[in-house]
Every structure is written in C-alpha cells, then in structure tokens.
Amino acid sequence: MIKKILLLVLLAAVSAACFIPVTLQKTITIPSPFLSIYTRLTNPLNWEQSRPDLRKALSTDSGKVIVQKDSSQFTIKYNGLALDVNLKGNSFNVNEQDRGKTTNYRYTMVPVPDKLLDKTSITIREDKTVITYFIGKISPSSFLENRLRDLKSYLETDSLLYGFNIFKTGVPDSLLIVKQNEVLEKNQFTEAAKILASLQGYMKANNVKATQPVIAQFNKNTKDSVQVKVGFFINKAIKSSDGIQLNRMPKGGPLYAIKYKGAFLKRGKAHQALTQYFADHSHQLVILPFETYLDNKLPVSEKDTINIQVNFGTFPSAPGSK
C-alpha cells in the first residue's frame, strides 16, 4: 500500500514537473544606444543580415526569402525556416520554426544607465518546463548562446551592420589648397577637371608639392546644380589667389573613413553608412565629408569606376571616452 502511495506521489511530481515553468536567459551589453538598436530590429532586413543562414541566402538565393510585415509584426520564411517576430514594448517575441522544431524566445532591451547612454543591455529568454530544463542539462543545447552570439556579432561588426569596414584615421596634413565652383550637374565632371588643372598649375608655379592624392566634394545644392570643390594637401604655405584658397587643418584631427571602389553614382552608400555610424556613436560632424581619390584621378562620368576613401571628421574624444 505504501509503495503504491509513493508511486502515485512520484507520478504526480513528474506530471507536475511537466508544467512548472522555468525561464532560461543570457545577457550581453552592446556599445550602441538603445534607440539605434531598437530601430534596426524593427526592420526585417536586419534580422536577415544578423542570421548567418539568412545572410547567405540573401546573397545566393534571395528570391526564396519571403518577408511579410505589418505595423508590429513580421515573418521571414526561407526553405524550412520561419521566423515570426512580434514587437511588444521593448521586447521582440520570436516564434522560430526550423525543420519541424518550434522554439519560442524573446529579446528584451534596456539602456545601460550610465552617463553617456550609449550602451544597451540585451537579454534573450526562453520559457521551458522543469523537465525540459533538466533534459537540457543532460544534453546541453547552445540555442540561446548561438542566437545571442549571432546578434552580437552583427551589431558589433561594422562590415555587417553598415555594409563597409569603418576605420578611424586622421587629417593627413595641416595645409590644404582648394578651389570651388557651382555648376549645372551635367557639367560637374568637366568643371572638376578644370579646377584640378588650375590647382596643379598653381602648385607648379609656386614650387609646391602635393603630400596626398587629390580630394574632392560633389555636393548637390539644388535640383540641377552641384557645388564642386577640389583640393590638395601641400607641403608648404602659399598665398591664396585666383580663387584658390589656403586652408589650415588640424593635422591628425579625427576622421572616420570607408574605402569604396565602384561606380561614382553609387558612392552614396558609403556616405549613408558613415552618417548612420555617426548617429549611432553620437559623433558630431565638424566639416563637410570629403573624398580622397586614391588613384589621384577624378571621375569623368557618373558610371566611371572610382577608388576613393570617404572621410567624415569629428571632434577629438574627451579623455576616458571612446
């Protein structure tokens, strides 16, 4: 009789264990502001890019990646994988179905309450029962670690997050001569060539040498006009004359840069990436972005292939900050 009672108690305990909830969680800190990360994760494309399997699919099999989206929910499907993401407050609830296995988990984000508010704590949670928890202990699963690792890698790798490798450099020299003119957009390349020839002639006449490849800005002013500015860093000071101005730059002043090689008309992707990088890292732009033409050759058309370094300048970091 006692054995039967003990057996019934044991069965009841095992049965109850099947329903007692247990929450597994892992937490990381990302060096980016809360709003920046949250905004990114409301876009399905960033979920696709954060997953190595989906990222590979986008480059090799993009036509089979299907996205359905409404105001607070989206679904991404590819082959046997389906991610159903639901935005709720500061959390993203995920129902993942992968080859017949369903897993429910959620990411919760909160700003790290320090002085700069430039870091975010991200916690991934999965609800289990006691019995599935102990089964997991016997046969460990790295599911949460893998998901959090993939997200961390994406958010902390510039080439994934922004599409380019972004590096910190400095203003290469302190003396700079420039010449600029506003022209119709259709004449921007012809004008740039004229300015370049004018600068080269002026340097030769004044026995001055360029210390870096030619730099330029092509800034659109109105619908059909462009402000064209061309310049050279030089080895000694000369007088401003004939529309050529001598500027003094803070040598070594911080620049963040991207190397870009491709069509001139598509270089805006590099500018957009640096603009977003500055917003994410709370950098203030102190000079208009400029492009260093690494082959020392300016473009002759919008389809011309260029090899450039796009430079964004900011203030020096305060002591103790990044």
Alpha helices in 177-264 (DSSP H): 188-205
157-173 pLDDT, tens per residue?
999 999 999 999 999 99
How does the average pLDDT of the chain come out, rounded? 89
Q: What is the pLDDT of residue 114?
A: 87
Confidence of residue 3 (pLDDT cuts 50, 70, 90): low
Query: In the CATH scheme, what is the homologous superfamily, with its name and number, of domain 173-251?
Result: Regulatory factor, effector binding domain (3.20.80.10)
What is the C-alpha separation between 226 and 182, in angstroms, rounded?
6
Confidence of residue 137 (pLDDT cuts 50, 70, 90): very low
Q: Is the pLDDT of residue 136 over 60?
A: no
The answer to whether the beta carbons of residues 228 and 183 sit under 8 Å apart is yes
17-68 pLDDT, tens per residue?
555 666 788 999 999 899 999 999 999 999 999 999 999 999 899 899 999 9
3-class state of residue 140 by DSSP? coil
Across residues 218-228, what is the average pLDDT?
A: 92
Q: 253 or 10, which is more confident?
A: 253
244-257 pLDDT, tens per residue?
999 999 999 999 99
59-109 pLDDT, tens per residue?
899 899 999 999 899 999 999 999 999 999 999 999 999 988 899 999 999
**What residues pair up with 101 in beta bridges, in sequence order?**
98
Q: What is the pLDDT of residue 139?
A: 39
Pick the CATH number of 19-156 from 3.40.50.1240, 3.40.50.740, 3.30.530.20, 3.90.420.10: 3.30.530.20
The answer to whether the beta carbons of residues 131 and 17 sit under 8 Å apart is yes
Dihedral sign computed on CA atoms, order 251, 256, 259, 264? negative
Confidence of residue 16 (pLDDT cuts 50, 70, 90): low
